Amino acid sequence: MLADRIINAVSWRARGALVNSRNACTHVNHWTERMVYQAKARTMLRASGADKPLAHFIKDRPSDAIPPDYSDLWLLFSLVRKKRPRVVFEYGAGCSTVVLAEALRQNGSGFLHSIDSEETWAKIAWNSLPLNLRNICQVGYSTVSVVERSGVKGFKHDNVPDVVLELVYLDGPQLTPEVNVVVDILDIELELPDNFCMVLDGRYYCKRFMLQHLKRAYRFTDRLAFKNSIWEL
Ligand SMILES: C[S@@+](CC[C@H](N)C(=O)[O-])C[C@H]1O[C@@H](n2cnc3c(N)ncnc32)[C@H](O)[C@@H]1O
């Protein structure tokens, strides 16, 4: 009996250690993949000409501003170039704003609406944009309210432009441990056009919430190594 208990305890510990080491390996693999891809993405942004407006955008920003994530930026740039949306909508302004706008400029069509829930960061983003991109985008400020959907507390932006969202980048507002989902897209799901595409950055709980509650037939891509996910109709 005692021998059985010892064997059981040892095997559970061994299993636990195996799971932990497997998780650690996955973590390291994802980190390595992300680092390698960062360099590649930066090269591709340079080759596409998006590096110059990005450099302009970054140069006068406050030193504590979130730095560019090149793999996210390349994903956004290439999606806009490929899908040629008429309306791009961004929640959370920053380096992504200038890259999305530059992609639209290179397309020769389309408009970017960016909203930020912090007035200061909205202003900083707008003031950092090169002049030649300001006629194809706007950066607005919107307060957010806390609402409840399916028993979960979520943020919802109060002032959003009334436009059909074709390509969405969901990267704002800043979440909190108590409110860690954003419900804007859920609330307008039935109005989304057939060419809809959304990139969600990080935001694990938000991803889980969307996967549970969005109802339409999306093609879903989970880019675990890059900590972002894509929904496409
Ligand atoms: C993840 S950031 C958005 C970044 C942007 N989409 C990008 O790719 O660069 C989300 C929000 O955090 C807020 N924020 C708080 N601290 C910030 C900081 N130090 N730099 C930039 N944004 C900050 C801003 O309101 C911003 O919209």
* pTM for the predicted model, two decimal places: 0.90
DSSP 138-177: EEEE--EEEEEETTEEEEEES-------SEEEE--S---S
**Burial category of 152 from C-beta neighbours within 10 Å (exposed 0-12, middle 13-18, buried 19 and up):** middle
Give the Å distance between the CA of 58 and the centre of ligand 1: 13
Residue 118 CB less than 6 A away from ligand 1: yes
Give the Å distance between the CA of 16 and the centre of ligand 1: 37
Q: 71 and 226 in contact (C-beta within 8 Å)?
A: yes
Q: Which two tokens stand for residue 20?
A: 């932990």
In this predicted structure, what is the pLDDT of residue 20? 67
In this predicted structure, what is the pLDDT of residue 26? 81
Note the Cα 203 to chain centre separation in Å: 8
Catalogue all structural domains in the chain, each as residue range(s) with its CATH number. Answer: 46-232 (3.40.50.150)
In order of 46, 55, 122, 165, 166, the CA distances from 114 in angstroms are 23, 19, 9, 12, 13
In this predicted structure, what is the pLDDT of residue 1? 60
Of 116, 83, 86, 81, the C-alpha closest to 99 is 81
Give the Å distance between the CA of 186 and the centre of ligand 1: 22
Q: What is the pLDDT along the chain (233 residues), one digit of tens a residue?
A: 666 666 566 666 666 665 666 677 787 888 888 888 899 999 999 999 999 999 999 998 999 999 999 999 999 999 999 999 999 999 999 999 999 999 999 999 999 999 999 999 999 999 999 999 999 999 999 999 999 999 999 999 999 999 999 999 999 999 999 999 999 999 999 999 999 999 999 989 999 999 999 999 999 999 999 999 999 99
In this predicted structure, what is the pLDDT of residue 70? 96
Of 54, 38, 141, the C-alpha closest to 96 is 54
In this predicted structure, what is the pLDDT of residue 28? 85
C-alpha span between 86 and 59 (Å, rounded): 29
C-alpha span between 94 and 161 (Å, rounded): 19
Residue 96 CB less than 6 A away from ligand 1: yes
Q: 165 and 90 in contact (C-beta within 8 Å)?
A: no
In this predicted structure, what is the pLDDT of residue 7? 59
Residue 110 CB less than 6 A away from ligand 1: no
**Which residue has 């890259």 as its token pair?**
99
In this predicted structure, what is the pLDDT of residue 23? 72
